[in-house]
Amino acid sequence: MRIDIITVLPELLKSPFEASILKRAIEADLVEVHFHNLRDYTTDNYKTIDDYQFGGGAGMVMLIEPIDKCISKLKSQRHYDEVIYMTPDGETLNQGIANTLSLKENIIILCGHYKGVDQRVRDMFVTKEISIGDYVLSGGELGAAVLCDAVIRLIPGVLGNETSALTDSFQDNLLAPPIYTRPRDYNGHKVPEVLFSGNFPKIEKWREEQAYKRTKERRPDLLDE
Ligand code: ADE
């Protein structure tokens, strides 16, 4: 998989890709991530990327021209499955969207800033709009990092134990059950006995029950879906 991220603040985005699982995925060539600074696609001396809104109103709007230049250059080099725009009015990110995107070959992620991009960018180039939640960030970069993390860890081979993504919370619309490790008794706080029974069908059943109980208590909305 290849991900091209278009941003005015590449330095805000880079560190999540320089540590841990994402770093290893990149080093193992399971994913390529490229950053494109929008200012490199401006044509004036001031490297202008935004301007005032037509019709008046507070906040600057990102210009279509540098975005067009950047996206067109990328598209001339390869086919893209999706051009994703990070925006608070997009579809809210969930595990299903992450699963679907993890199967794509090449994607572009466009990070918005200020009030956002000229509507014509969305009309002409964007194929999918994603929000990471009902709150407003100062730019799409942190959202793009969240999206990339959720997607990249699902690419086969990225997680050490391939089954571990399958047992994550949300994969079956249930939250994950409680988990324990050593010590068996911590100052009187004991690990549930069933986990030492050696009876794996019984342990599996216990985990399913716990996952259901936890989901019912914390996220009953997931059970309605
Ligand atoms: N840009 C600003 N706020 C955002 C959000 N909630 N999700 C994605 N991109 C954003």
Cα 128 to Cα 86: distance, rounded to the nearest angstrom: 9
pLDDT tens profile 2-37: 999 999 999 999 999 999 999 999 999 999 999 999
Record: fold of 2-152: Alpha/beta knot (3.40.1280)
Closest alpha carbon to 211 in 223, 224, 194 = 223
Give the three-state DSSP class for 211: helix
CA distances from 193 to 98, 112, 180, 202, 212 (A): 36, 51, 11, 11, 19
Sketch the domain layout of the chain as residue ranges: 2-152, 169-224
> pLDDT confidence of 163, banded at 50, 70, 90?
low
> For the chain, how many residues are written?
225
Rg (CA), the chain: 22
Q: Enumerate the H helices of 103-140 as residue ranges.
A: 119-124
Residues 6+ apart with CB under 8 A from 76: none
Entry pTM: 0.94
Ligand 1: distance of its center to the CA of 13 in Å?
A: 14
Give the closest residue (by CA) to ligand 1 atom 8: 131
Question: From the CB of 96, is ligand 1 less than 6 Å away?
Answer: no
pLDDT, tens digit, 9 for 90 and up, residues 98-156: 999 999 999 999 999 878 999 999 999 999 999 999 999 999 999 999 999 999 999 99
Asked if residue 136 has its Cβ within 6 Å of ligand 1, the reply is yes
Q: Is residue 165's pLDDT more than 90?
A: no
In sequence order, the 6+-apart residues with CB closer than 8 A to the CB of 47 are 39
Residues with Cβ within 8 Å of 143's Cβ and at least 6 positions away in sequence, in order, are 86, 111, 130, 131, 132, 137
What's the pLDDT score for residue 162?
Answer: 58
* pLDDT tens sequence across 21-78: 999 999 999 999 999 999 999 999 999 999 999 999 999 999 999 999 999 999 999 9
Q: Is 211 in the pocket of ligand 1 (CB under 6 A)?
A: no
| Pair 83, 127: CB distance under 8 Å | yes
Closest CA to ligand 1's atom 5:
88
Distance 136 CA to ligand 1 centre (A): 5
CATH T-level assignment (fold) for domain 169-224: Trp Operon Repressor; Chain A (1.10.1270)
How far is the centre of ligand 1, averaged over its atoms, from the C-alpha of 117 (Å)? 13
Question: Between helices 141-152 and 20-27, what is the axis angle to 10°?
Answer: 70
